[in-house]
Structure 1
Amino acid sequence: MKLAVVIPRYAPGALGGAEAHGAAYARKLQSAGHEVELLTTCARSHATWDNELPEGESIEDALKIRRFAVRRGNADRFGSTEWRIAHRMHTTHDEQVEWIKYKGYAPELCDYLCDSDHDRVILMPYSCATTYFGTLAVPDKAVVHTLLHDEPYARLAVTEEIVRSASAILFNSPPETALARRLFGELPFHGLGGMGFEPFSSSPDPAGFRTRYGLGAGPIVLYAGRWEGGKGVPRLVDYMRTAAGRRHDWHLALIGSGPDAPQSRKGNIAPVGFIDDSEKHSAFAAADIFCQPSQNESLSIVLMEAWLAGTPALVNGECAVTRYHCRRSGGGLWFTSYPEFEAAIEALLADPRRADAMAAGGRRYVLDVYSWDAVIGRVTEVLEAA
């Protein structure tokens, strides 16, 4: 098939989860024998949407990329509507369209879709202009991978318009599918997509990781991702400080960056920062427990990576998706309060054989359900049937 994958940004070194997901789809579908091009904007930043990259076609790592200029919307109007949406206040359809138009609107990308002969067009995520306007431009070809979260944006009329207009929908997990049914009722043709994973290619150095970041010999709880309130990081930091006050010798290692975590080592909290995949493998191998405190996930890439590395998980029990993964795989526990958080860590540390068995169950689950072969097989079935 001749396919287009549409994502709001493609700037290596500045990719969010959705953009990395879409780019990986493009490469894997191309490797599977499809004719694929990646369509995106000239923006690098989702905060400014400035056109920082050149328009036009390029070949990057053997993948054809076409970039289109963003037409900027009204920042003041966007900010006002964003605030009202976030606080679950009423907004009109016209206001929502103007709001999403600020998030990467590239009219020439839509024109290109209308004029091209793609068999199918995969668009993600649901909350960007490239997906909204791209789906409306070619609804009969549009296969939307929503990456849906239970958040105010999911309840907008423009979101339901995307779902109702698309030829087919891809979801990351059964709980995401269930969320869409609760929000929109009967769904169009849909199937399970997801992100694909492969075992780490490098050999880990857990002892070296502990030494490099001054983590000593005590138990390590690891977090990887953005350091921000929406990901539950302040709560995790607060819980770990409470644990230290209760004389637990647990260390929290934080991979990533962001505004809501300590910028320097303090007590049992160790900000590691950005690290490459090899060092991340060592971090997972060094950790006794991987913690995913986020309440809003449609898949959780880092949870899958932790299981591939052989690390049991502890997740936010209020997140239907990660709790489902843990239940289905047996790969982790969950918490909804500090006492449950503390009890789960104590249970995993007290029984290493149980912890290892849970990690092994998580690894089997990832390789069975979210290997690239399994994911691309499912996606291809949807593309052919849509």
Structure 2
Amino acid sequence: MRILQIVPSISLIYGGPSQMVLGLAPALAREGVEVTILTTNSNGDRGQKSLDVPLNTPIKQDGYEIIYFRSAPFRRYKFSLDLLKWLNFHAHKFDLAHIHALFSPVSSVAAAICRHQKLPYILRPLGTLDPADIRKKRQLKKFYALMLESANIARAAAMHFTSIQEAKISERFGVATRDLVIPLGVIPSQEDGESTLRQQWSIPVDVPLVLFMSRIDPKKGLNLLIPALEKLLAAGLNFHFVLAGTNPQDPDYEEKIKSQIYNSCLRSHTTITGFVTGELKSALLQAADIFVLPSYYENFGIAVAEAMAAGTPVIISDQVHICQEVHESESGWVSKLEVPTLTELLRIALQNPYECQRRGLRAKEYALQHYSWDAIARQMIEAYKNILVQR
């Protein structure tokens, strides 16, 4: 099989969507699939330098190839006319396209090209069909869907959702779809830099570390988490909070959150790292005693799965769509979207280290069994084959 993976950007600064494609591609290649990723050199939306990569030429890595195209002229929207021209010319050489993103111009036009070229394609909406997300720009999305995306959805071979809950609540704009539910995978952390990290930031070994690692965005629930942590400090609980993440699309909100922490009692109990990757990211996931993500909506939550794979118990909201899996596997705790419940669950976790340890072990066991990239690649290949046989 020759499979195209099309994604607006694979810069890790954009978080989950990039990690998914970079995890899936080598796993598919290990199973004998020929994979080509089409993407742009976009690397942030507010003045960051573009990725320093060769353009318009295949680059071989980890058993697959990737082709970068210049993101221009609308950098914020990660648009590339060169990518679309390449796809239009080469689409007939491939068996299927897996397109990651809706309501993104390059992905939308790519799907239209696949329709025209009669290349079957799968769409992964990345949570953009969640009613909570649609409400933010309802009229614009309705118009966009009317003009382009509804036809893309209607003609897609399948819609790839990463959780049953995401598939259940997603808007379809009146179009019937074939749903494919396959979760995301994670690469377990290998490095153990916990002691070095604590020394670097002067965090005593006996002080619990509470980790938030995600994009700093209003939907992530920091307006619930910060007051909850303040209440715990006021009640005399001792911990160290690590805020790891950034927001290249809304730096003003990021600065607002930082200012809120600097002007509160949390200031002397908090380390703000900015965007993390590589060894530092692995060390943080392993050093954390509790990972917390009280999002207002989250189609999967790749950072949650990564924390689980590192053996860290999680506290998430009931709007993170793997909350049922977390609850049933006892990998952590699930909170309502309210400060009192979140505060109470954090208090329980902080005051019961042995229970945290037990749930961390359950989390690791569950993640390694269900979020292995090799296992997910095999599920994906079976789905690809079924689509091609039916067509």
- State TM-score, norm by structure 1: 0.81
* Aligned equivalents of 2:200, 2:310: Cα separation in 1: 19
Q: Is the 8 A contact 2:39 2:67 kept in 1?
A: yes
Residue 15 (structure 2) pairs with residue 16 (structure 1): yes
* Aligned equivalents of 1:47, 1:165: Cα separation in 2: 35
CA RMSD of aligned residues (A): 2.8
Q: How many residues align?
A: 355
Residue 346 (structure 2) pairs with residue 345 (structure 1): yes
The aligned counterpart of 2:188 is 199
1:291-330 counterparts in 2 under 5 A?
291-317=292-318, 319-330=319-330
After TM superposition, give the deviation of residue 276 of structure 1 in Å.
4.1
1:1-386 counterparts in 2 under 5 A?
1-11=1-11, 14-47=13-46, 55-61=55-61, 63-72=64-73, 103-116=77-90, 117-139=93-115, 140-149=119-128, 150=130, 151-152=133-134, 156=142, 157=145, 158-180=148-170, 183-184=172-173, 187-202=176-191, 204-216=192-204, 217-258=206-247, 259=254, 260-262=256-258, 266-317=267-318, 319-335=319-335, 336-386=337-387
* Aligned equivalents of 1:142, 1:10: Cα separation in 2: 19
SS at match of 1:248: coil
- Change in CA separation of 1:187 and 1:369 when aligned onto 2, cut-off 3 Å: farther
| Post-superposition CA distance 1:279-336 (Å, at most 9, x none) | 333323332211012222121111111111211111123x140422322322121222
Q: Which has the higher contact order (CA 8 A, sep 6+)?
A: 2
SS at match of 2:9: coil
- Change in CA separation of 1:108 and 1:281 when aligned onto 2, cut-off 3 Å: closer
| Post-superposition CA distance 1:248-276 (Å, at most 9, x none) | 22321112234143276813222133444
- Change in CA separation of 1:352 and 1:3 when aligned onto 2, cut-off 3 Å: same
Q: Percent identity?
A: 21
* Aligned equivalents of 1:16, 1:363: Cα separation in 2: 21
Structure 1 unaligned blocks of 5 or more:
76-101
Q: Could you tell me which amino acid in structure 1 is paired with residue 77 of structure 2?
A: K
* Aligned equivalents of 2:244, 2:320: Cα separation in 1: 24
After TM superposition, give the deviation of residue 222 of structure 1 in Å.
1.0
- Change in CA separation of 1:364 and 1:69 when aligned onto 2, cut-off 3 Å: same
* Aligned equivalents of 2:30, 2:332: Cα separation in 1: 33
Q: Is the 8 A contact 1:122 1:142 kept in 2?
A: yes
After TM superposition, give the deviation of residue 41 of structure 1 in Å.
2.4
- State TM-score, norm by structure 2: 0.81
- Change in CA separation of 1:223 and 1:331 when aligned onto 2, cut-off 3 Å: same
* Aligned equivalents of 1:23, 1:276: Cα separation in 2: 14
* Aligned equivalents of 1:238, 1:60: Cα separation in 2: 48
- The 4+ residue runs of structure 1 with deviation greater than 6 A are 48-52
| Post-superposition CA distance 1:83-131 (Å, at most 9, x none) | xxxxxxxxxxxxxxxxxxx723334433333332210011102231222
- Change in CA separation of 1:286 and 1:320 when aligned onto 2, cut-off 3 Å: closer
| Post-superposition CA distance 1:217-237 (Å, at most 9, x none) | 322211112223232224322
After TM superposition, give the deviation of residue 47 of structure 1 in Å.
5.0
Structure 2 unaligned blocks of 5 or more:
248-253
The aligned counterpart of 1:91 is none
Q: Could you tell me which amino acid in structure 1 is paired with residue 7 of structure 2?
A: I
- Change in CA separation of 1:206 and 1:195 when aligned onto 2, cut-off 3 Å: same
Q: Is the 8 A contact 2:203 2:240 kept in 1?
A: yes
Q: Could you tell me which amino acid in structure 2 is paired with residue 113 of structure 1?
A: L
Q: Could you tell me which amino acid in structure 2 is paired with residue 262 of structure 1?
A: K
